[in-house]
Structure 1
Amino acid sequence: MVGLFAGIGGLELGLSASGWQTELLCEIDPGARAVLQARFPDIPVHPDVTRLRSLPQGTELVAAGFPCQDLSQAGRTAGISGSRSGLVDEIFRLVRRRRGPRWLLLENVPFMLQLGRGAAMRHITGALDELGYTWAYRVVDARAFGLPQRRQRVLLLASRTEDPRRVLLTEDAGPLDQGDPAHDPCGFYWTEGVRGLGWAVNAVPTLKGGSALGIASPPAVRLPAGEIVTPGIEDGERLQGFAAGWTEPALTVPGFRQGHRWKLVGNAVSVRMAEWAGSRLDSTAGPLPDGPELAPGQPWPSAAWGRAGRAYRAPVSTWPVHEPYQGLADYLTGSRLLSARATAGFLRRTGMGTLRFPPGFLDDVETHLDRMGGWAA
Structure 2
Amino acid sequence: MTAAALFAGIGGLEVGLAKNGIRTISMVEKWEPARAVLAHRFDSSELLSDVSTVKSLPRVDVLTAGFPCTDLSQAGRTQGIHGSASGVVSHVFRLLPEARPTWLVLENVQNMLVLDGGSAMAFLVAELEARGYRWAYRVVDSRSTGVPHRRKRVILVASRTEDPRSVLFADNAMERETASISTAYGFYWTEGFTGLGWATDAVPTLKVGSTVGIPSPPAIWVRDAVRGRQIVTPTIEDAEALQGFRRGWTKAATTGLGREGSRWRLVGNAVTTGVSAWVGSRLVDPGTPDLSSQRLIDTGRWPHAAYGNKGQVWSVPTSGAWPLRRRYKHLVDVIDTSMAPSLSARATAGFVSRTERSTLRFDPDFLVAVKEHEHVMRSSQ
Calculate the TM-score normalised by the size of structure 1: 0.95
CA contact (8 A) 2:25 2:44 kept: no
Distance 1:105 1:296, change over 3 A: closer
CA contact (8 A) 2:183 2:224 kept: no
2:78 pairs with 1:77: yes
Alpha-carbon distance between aligned partners in 2 of 1:131 and 1:173, rounded to the nearest angstrom: 33
2:144 corresponds to: 144
2:195 pairs with 1:196: yes
SS across alignment from 1:150: coil
Partner AA of 2:148 in structure 1: P
Offset at residue 358 of structure 1 (A): 2.4
Alpha-carbon distance between aligned partners in 2 of 1:288 and 1:190, rounded to the nearest angstrom: 40
Offset at residue 373 of structure 1 (A): 2.5
SS across alignment from 1:211: coil
1:177 corresponds to: 177
Equivalent of residue 355 in structure 2, options 350, 356, 359: 350
What are the equivalent positions in structure 2 for 1:259-298 lying under 5 Å apart? 259-290=261-292, 291-297=294-300
2:88 pairs with 1:87: yes
Alpha-carbon distance between aligned partners in 2 of 1:270 and 1:339, rounded to the nearest angstrom: 29
CA contact (8 A) 2:133 2:160 kept: yes
What CA RMSD, in Å, does the superposition of the two structures yield over aligned residues? 1.4
1:323 corresponds to: 326
SS across alignment from 1:337: coil
Equivalent of residue 238 in structure 2, options 232, 235, 255: 235
2:97 corresponds to: 96
Offset at residue 177 of structure 1 (A): 1.5
2:366 pairs with 1:361: yes
1:372 corresponds to: 377
Offset at residue 284 of structure 1 (A): 4.0
SS across alignment from 1:107: strand
Offset at residue 184 of structure 1 (A): 2.1
Question: Once the two structures are superposed, what CA deviation does each residue of 1:120-158 show, in whole Å capped at 9, x if it has no partner?
Answer: 000001111111111100000000000000000000001
CA contact (8 A) 1:187 1:203 kept: yes
Moved segments of 4+, more than 6 Å: none
Instruction: List alignment gaps of at least 5 residues for structure 2.
Output: none
2:221 corresponds to: 222
Alpha-carbon distance between aligned partners in 1 of 2:377 and 2:26, rounded to the nearest angstrom: 49
Question: Once the two structures are superposed, what CA deviation does each residue of 1:311-334 show, in whole Å capped at 9, x if it has no partner?
Answer: 110112101111000100012235
SS across alignment from 2:284: coil
Question: Once the two structures are superposed, what CA deviation does each residue of 1:180-219 show, in whole Å capped at 9, x if it has no partner?
Answer: 3x33200001000111100000000000011232101110
SS across alignment from 1:62: strand
Alpha-carbon distance between aligned partners in 2 of 1:232 and 1:13, rounded to the nearest angstrom: 22
Distance 1:284 1:31, change over 3 A: closer
SS across alignment from 2:244: coil
Distance 1:322 1:117, change over 3 A: same
Alpha-carbon distance between aligned partners in 1 of 2:254 and 2:194, rounded to the nearest angstrom: 35
Instruction: List alignment gaps of at least 5 residues for structure 1.
Output: none
Alpha-carbon distance between aligned partners in 2 of 1:39 and 1:63, rounded to the nearest angstrom: 17
**Larger deviation, residues 195-204 vs 347-356:** 347-356
SS across alignment from 1:372: helix
CA contact (8 A) 1:212 1:260 kept: no
Equivalent of residue 50 in structure 1, options 47, 52, 59: 52
2:40 pairs with 1:66: no
Partner AA of 1:91 in structure 2: V
Equivalent of residue 306 in structure 1, options 305, 308, 318: 308
CA contact (8 A) 2:11 2:38 kept: yes
Alpha-carbon distance between aligned partners in 2 of 1:170 and 1:90, rounded to the nearest angstrom: 30
1:120 corresponds to: 120
Alpha-carbon distance between aligned partners in 2 of 1:267 and 1:142, rounded to the nearest angstrom: 14
Alpha-carbon distance between aligned partners in 2 of 1:27 and 1:183, rounded to the nearest angstrom: 40
Question: Once the two structures are superposed, what CA deviation does each residue of 1:20-57 show, in whole Å capped at 9, x if it has no partner?
Answer: 1111111111101100001111212111011100111x
1:22 corresponds to: 24
SS across alignment from 2:288: coil
SS across alignment from 2:378: coil
Distance 1:171 1:242, change over 3 A: same
**Larger deviation, residues 301-310 vs 332-341:** 332-341
1:248 corresponds to: 251
Alpha-carbon distance between aligned partners in 2 of 1:285 and 1:30, rounded to the nearest angstrom: 39
Partner AA of 1:128 in structure 2: L
SS across alignment from 1:336: coil
Alpha-carbon distance between aligned partners in 2 of 1:93 and 1:264, rounded to the nearest angstrom: 26
Distance 1:148 1:19, change over 3 A: same
Alpha-carbon distance between aligned partners in 2 of 1:285 and 1:80, rounded to the nearest angstrom: 32
SS across alignment from 2:215: coil
Alpha-carbon distance between aligned partners in 2 of 1:253 and 1:126, rounded to the nearest angstrom: 43
CA contact (8 A) 2:142 2:151 kept: yes
Alpha-carbon distance between aligned partners in 1 of 2:178 and 2:148, rounded to the nearest angstrom: 9
Distance 1:264 1:287, change over 3 A: closer
Calculate the TM-score normalised by the size of structure 2: 0.94
CA contact (8 A) 1:26 1:48 kept: yes
